[in-house]
Amino acid sequence: MRSRRAEQRTRRRSTAALCPLDTALNLFCADIGSTSGGNFGWYGRLSSGADVRDTDMSALCTAVADQLNAGGTVALGFEAPMFVPLRSDPLELTKRREGETSPNWIGGPGAAVLATALAQVPWMLRDIRSKLSVIGLATLSWDDFVARRANLFLWEAFVSGGAKGASHMHDAEIAVRAFEAALPDPSQRNTINEPTVSSVLGAALLRTAWSTDVSLLAQSCIVIRA
């Protein structure tokens, strides 16, 4: 049976080989949900090979900030709808996003998780930013991230149905594994292609002073489905 240290070395080599960046890539995901209700969890796979996980939101922000402060790059996902369609026909506004399957962004748990994300995602982005000792640059564009025009890449995770794990931390881990499997170019595994959107992530980045670029309000992000 392989030792944990051997597994970590293999995982580290695998991630480094897939990573298109000069600096090592750290992968994180937050499974959005009520913290008071015990429905929030997160997982991280560090470039060192270590795995980290918790149910504490502030601990996630500290872990992300620590990697950025150390000169690393971070891909941080949120398991919740991060943009909604903005269509010309009002009858089409509340239909599922192009490429989306059940549950969709407005049906079942989708709407509740979206509402929770409206509060939690800005909080996390603000907290990460407050803990930085380096310049933090965030992007929704994988091309910009690979070109090192940003050190924080934000994406949407989609874990549902048979893909779901035994806990919220496990769901976050499943999302990270799906993102890792999509490297070196996760944009090729994007599952939702909605041409015109209102961006939850874009609004959060503006609200928390990560950016002043208002075009983010109309920018979708990569969606990785497990």
CA dihedral sign, ordered 152, 86, 120, 41: negative
Q: CA 116, CA 114: separation in Å to the nearest integer?
A: 5
Say whether the peptide bond before residue 184 is cis (omega within 30 degrees of 0).
yes
Q: CA 217, CA 134: separation in Å to the nearest integer?
A: 25
pLDDT level of residue 7 (50, 70, 90 thresholds): very low
> Which residues on adjacent β-strands are paired with residue 224?
157
Per-residue pLDDT reduced to its tens digit, 62-97: 999 999 999 999 999 999 999 999 999 999 999 999
Q: CA 184, CA 26: separation in Å to the nearest integer?
A: 13
State the residue range of the domain holding 13.
4-225
Write out the E strands in the chain.
25-31, 41-45, 51-54, 73-79, 83-85, 138-139, 152-158, 197-199, 223-225
For residue 198, give Cα distances in angstroms to 71, 86, 104, 106: 32, 6, 16, 14
Q: What is the value of pTM for the model shown?
A: 0.89
Q: What is the pLDDT of residue 160?
A: 81
Q: How many residues does the chain have?
A: 226
Measured in whole angstroms, the distance separating CA 127 from the mean position of its chain's CA atoms is 16
Q: How many independent structural domains does the chain possess?
A: 1
Q: What is the pLDDT of residue 15?
A: 40
Per-residue pLDDT reduced to its tens digit, 106-149: 887 889 999 999 999 999 999 999 999 999 999 999 999 999 99
